[in-house]
Structure 1
Amino acid sequence: MQTLLLWLFYISSFYAFIPGLITRIFGFRVFRKGSGEHEYALTFDDGPDAVYTPKLLDLLKRYDAKATFFVVGSHAENNPELVKRMHDEGHLIGIHNYIHKSNWLMRPATVTKQIMKTDKIIHSITGERTSYYRPPWGIVNLFDLKKRGGKFKIVLWSAMFGDWRERIGADRLTERILNKLQPGEVLLLHDCGTTAGANPDAPQQMLVALERVLQEAEQRGLKSIRVDEMIKAKENAPEKKLSLGKLAVVKLWLIWETIFHKVFRLKTVNPNDPLIHYRLRKYSGQTVELEDGELLQKGDKVVELHFDNEKLFRFGIRSRSTVHLAIQMIRSMEKELPVLAHQVMGISGAKNAKALYGVTMLNRGPQQFGFQVLDLKDGLFARSSQLYLKFLLSVIHPSGQSRLKEHTQRLIPKMILMPINVLMERYAENGSHRPHHEMKRERGNQPEQTADNNDLTLSASAQGLESSTPAI
């Protein structure tokens, strides 16, 4: 009996658990997230529903938003007029099985029949076949990965919100969606509440929240597009192609960073599009003299900065060159620092902090923002920071390993510091560290000037290397 149970465990692991794990963590043979500067994707599962889908289509039409509907075949069969309307109004239609049942609980042949039957229903209504498939609950099996990749593209999501539960309420749902409303995100929502585990009237809360989100997206200049358009845009984007091994390392590293942020309760300057995280803590390094003449000593309060390494990674893989990467980072920093200055003013105890503080691998870019760059005392922390930041540089920078080989002598971690009063004078009062006409003039010459200033873009958090880890 034990042997039988053991074999059942092995078979189920290879058939279901492991394929599910590698798709969720590594995105292997599935599409989960796109790229772009202003586009995101709204996707809806489980419909069409006779009550809520028409209301949803009306809402999308009002805001000129395109979406992707992964329809349950039996629901489409019962509501052909809604499927036709989706198609006629320019939305993409995908498959969500004929009945809402997990692929883990069906034989491969049964899953295939479910998909093909739904495809025929869609074709009979719209006159077009579909190439997009989302398994119920996003659960794939081994045969899905092996066989679906040819005819059907498996589409998962980058964010879901529990909108199938009515008790979540429109307010909390709105907050959750807005926290993920960023370019490239694939958002999962539901326009039907009749499947197992869902509440029949939950889509009503979703519709209220979605209208608020569409209003906010409009104000931010963001637009919802179909998944096929997002896939095409990502394929045409100038991103680096990462090996599966490197991608796995990056994923684990980003998971660690998320844990670090929660454990140390880092605040985020802009939660909707994170770039800089920070926290108030006591300085533990050697005594240094700041530019304003004050001494920063062990025990003094500092505002410790951490870059969002996922954002840096996205910048890096999308950048056509180091100059392009530098331009993106400089523009982002110009927006973030004034907001950071105002937030620091509102933190209890931050007024007594002496400086902004971080650690950087390359050292020239931060100076243009008002940071002073100082040597980091040699020791275990400096050496471990160097190893960590070299790894980070190899992943983020468009030139990767070649950059490391060419500039090994310059890859030395250094402290960057800015007195709090300098932060307030430069950013809290004027909203920028330099006049607008000067910024405009410099941007005109940016390709030549930025080649060295790209050092700014390669500074990043040395998280986890000591009990209080510096960052930028």
Structure 2
Amino acid sequence: MVWEATMENFLLWGFYILTFYAFLPGLVSRTFGFRVFKKGRAAHEIALTFDDGPDPEYTPQLLDLLKRYDAKGTFFVVGVHAERHPELLRRMHEEGHIIGIHNYVHKTNWLMRPGTVKKQIHRTADVIKKATGERPAFYRPPWGIVNLFDFSNLGYLQIILWSALFGDWRKRVGADRLLARMMKKLRPGEVLLLHDCGATLGADREAPANMLVALASFMEEATSRGFRFVHIEEMIELTDKSKATMHTLGWFKRLLIACWMGWERIFHVLFRIKPTGEDPVLHHRIIKYKGKTLHLSDGGTIANKDPVLELHFDNHKLFQIMMDSRSVMHIAIRLIREVEKELPRLAARIAGREEYAKIRGLYGISMINRGAEQFGFSVLELPPGLFDKMTRLYLGTLMKVLHPSGRKRVQKRGDKLSPRIIAMSMDRFRERFGAPQVNYPWPASQSFEEQTESLTIPH
């Protein structure tokens, strides 16, 4: 009985120690981002990070791929591998990539004492310093697992985790499925975790071959959409700049924006407004148009009770563009570019789907200065009345909330910021944008804003 009680106490204390040493720090860091960096704020940038290398077969191929797209990556190297291939470290450094630490051997920090973890880090840092002449500033623990002392035991090192990983260490995932998973994270600010070596425990040695195939297609599509690949140091700088800009708005303005964004999410649920895909800037729903017949510039019409695709633009995306732009003209240019890229993707998204077969056209209500007609939209006056007044009030309030100098902007140009109907017949939409430009097995999406101050509301 005494032995049983002693063993029970021993196991209980072991559980307590393991919880506070390992489980809780890991949970806090992964869930709340405490003392770690795992996702950025950026307009068009994505951070590619690679673990477990370098590998003499796959890492050179990866470096060639990054060079082809003028991309910068972050390599978290395992010291024992790096020590065998200092020439690869030198090439990474010379080509502008960041090199971080991934322990000397690929072993979880939960199973090592704090002093052992520190030795692993210092030994790997010495390997990197010897090859490149610079000490690393970033650290990623294997499997992203930290212990209680990692937060204070790493000195100058910044812990880097990730916002998305894809199981690319398994060969059976395959390049196609891996690409489909990656495309769901084609969003600015993402920190993507991939592997350029399959020699670690639990990985398949040939798996990086699939990763390289998928990454090449991913980078090709991302580049065509205007994304840029940066190393983790630049992503952190962009994020810090974004946070600093946000704080210049004042607490009341930030509170208004947070409330408005929260209401928008509820609004989308209540009215069953669908996104076009992952991280969309365009949302839509099918409704029956209510109002007088719209006579469009191509000779088509949208009559009362005709089914239409009602467009809604993501106000969070619009706010990001406004915050990142230097002037109103810069906002306009960026929005028009987004429209040009997005409309073909919307066409690919709805092509061949039965629920869209009877749609007569696209419809929205926007504040427009310029640009809609060049994409085939007809711009029509909103009939005077209560709906016109409520629309004007709504969009004016939205501009005041979202634009950094929104109140001045609305007061200065109130005569020009008038709501208009934008509409396009489905025949014209298919004629101009109907040929799908993206041939992947996932929903086409990404980047759709209207031209200067184009904001949509439900009809």
Q: What TM-score, normalized by structure 2, do the two folds share?
A: 0.69
Q: Point out the more displaced range, 14-23 or 223-232.
A: 223-232
Contact 1:276 1:307 in 2 (8 A): yes
Look up the SS of the partner of 1:332 in the other structure.
Answer: helix
Matched residues in 2 for 1:107 and 1:406: separation?
A: 63
Contact 1:240 1:398 in 2 (8 A): no
Look up the SS of the partner of 1:69 in the other structure.
Answer: strand
Seen in structure 2, the aligned counterparts of structure 1 residues 171 and 353 have a Cα distance that, compared at 3 Å, is closer
Seen in structure 2, the aligned counterparts of structure 1 residues 20 and 430 have a Cα distance that, compared at 3 Å, is closer
Q: Does 1:288 align with 2:291?
A: yes
Q: Which residue of 2 aligns with 1:168?
A: 173
Paired residues in the alignment total: 415
Cα deviation code 1:360-404 (max 9, x no counterpart): 6x67779865354468978xxx89x959x96x757742236x569
Q: Does 1:192 align with 2:202?
A: no
Q: Which residue of 1 aligns with 2:40?
A: 33
Partner letter of residue 155 of structure 1?
A: I
Matched residues in 1 for 2:117 and 2:29: separation?
A: 15
Matched residues in 2 for 1:255 and 1:163: separation?
A: 37
Q: Does 1:76 align with 2:82?
A: yes
What is the Cα deviation at residue 166 of structure 1?
A: 1.0
Seen in structure 2, the aligned counterparts of structure 1 residues 302 and 28 have a Cα distance that, compared at 3 Å, is farther
Partner letter of residue 124 of structure 2?
A: T
Partner letter of residue 275 of structure 1?
A: V
Seen in structure 2, the aligned counterparts of structure 1 residues 226 and 12 have a Cα distance that, compared at 3 Å, is closer
Seen in structure 2, the aligned counterparts of structure 1 residues 44 and 336 have a Cα distance that, compared at 3 Å, is closer
Q: Point out the more displaced range, 223-232 or 313-322.
A: 223-232
Structure 2 residue runs of 5 or longer lacking an equivalent are 1-8, 296-300, 434-450
Seen in structure 2, the aligned counterparts of structure 1 residues 206 and 254 have a Cα distance that, compared at 3 Å, is farther
Matched residues in 2 for 1:258 and 1:145: separation?
A: 37
Superposed counterparts of 1:108-119, under 5 Å: 108-119=114-125
Matched residues in 2 for 1:7 and 1:404: separation?
A: 58
Partner letter of residue 26 of structure 2?
A: A
Contact 1:325 1:454 in 2 (8 A): yes
Matched residues in 1 for 2:172 and 2:146: separation?
A: 29
Superposed counterparts of 1:149-160, under 5 Å: 151-160=156-165
Contact 2:37 2:161 in 1 (8 A): yes
Partner letter of residue 32 of structure 1?
A: K
Q: Which residue of 2 aligns with 1:464?
A: none
Contact 2:176 2:214 in 1 (8 A): yes
Matched residues in 1 for 2:209 and 2:197: separation?
A: 9
Superposed counterparts of 1:371-390, under 5 Å: 371-372=379-380, 373=382
Contact 1:47 1:53 in 2 (8 A): yes
Seen in structure 2, the aligned counterparts of structure 1 residues 223 and 315 have a Cα distance that, compared at 3 Å, is closer
Cα deviation code 1:18-67 (max 9, x no counterpart): 232111xxx86525336365x54432101123443344345445665443
Matched residues in 2 for 1:395 and 1:145: separation?
A: 38
Q: Does 1:325 align with 2:331?
A: yes
What is the Cα deviation at residue 169 of structure 1?
A: 0.4
Identity %: 42
Matched residues in 2 for 1:258 and 1:199: separation?
A: 44
Cα deviation code 1:158-184 (max 9, x no counterpart): 433221111110122233334545665
Contact 2:302 2:361 in 1 (8 A): no
Matched residues in 1 for 2:210 and 2:259: separation?
A: 33
Matched residues in 2 for 1:363 and 1:137: separation?
A: 49
1:44 is aligned, of 37, 40, 50, to: 50
Cα deviation code 1:261-294 (max 9, x no counterpart): 8x958362xx588432334x343x8x42132376
1:278 is aligned, of 261, 264, 284, to: 284
Look up the SS of the partner of 2:453 in the other structure.
Answer: helix
Superposed counterparts of 1:191-210, under 5 Å: 191-210=196-215
Structure 1 residue runs of 5 or longer lacking an equivalent are 432-452, 462-469
Q: Which residue of 2 aligns with 1:19?
A: 29
Seen in structure 2, the aligned counterparts of structure 1 residues 204 and 359 have a Cα distance that, compared at 3 Å, is same
Cα deviation code 1:95-143 (max 9, x no counterpart): 1122334445555554443322321221123221111222333344565
Look up the SS of the partner of 2:284 in the other structure.
Answer: strand
Seen in structure 2, the aligned counterparts of structure 1 residues 156 and 406 have a Cα distance that, compared at 3 Å, is farther
Look up the SS of the partner of 1:33 in the other structure.
Answer: coil
Partner letter of residue 165 of structure 2?
A: M
Matched residues in 2 for 1:295 and 1:318: separation?
A: 40
Contact 2:29 2:36 in 1 (8 A): no
Seen in structure 2, the aligned counterparts of structure 1 residues 10 and 217 have a Cα distance that, compared at 3 Å, is closer
Matched residues in 1 for 2:408 and 2:108: separation?
A: 47
Matched residues in 2 for 1:306 and 1:396: separation?
A: 16
Seen in structure 2, the aligned counterparts of structure 1 residues 21 and 31 have a Cα distance that, compared at 3 Å, is closer
Contact 1:19 1:145 in 2 (8 A): no
Cα deviation code 1:292-341 (max 9, x no counterpart): 376434xx522132324453243133122444334322332344346646
Q: Point out the more displaced range, 214-223 or 328-337.
A: 214-223
Partner letter of residue 42 of structure 2?
A: S
Contact 1:386 1:413 in 2 (8 A): no
Matched residues in 2 for 1:105 and 1:375: separation?
A: 71
Look up the SS of the partner of 1:128 in the other structure.
Answer: coil
Root-mean-square deviation (CA, aligned residues, Å) is: 5.0
Q: Which residue of 1 aligns with 2:274?
A: 266
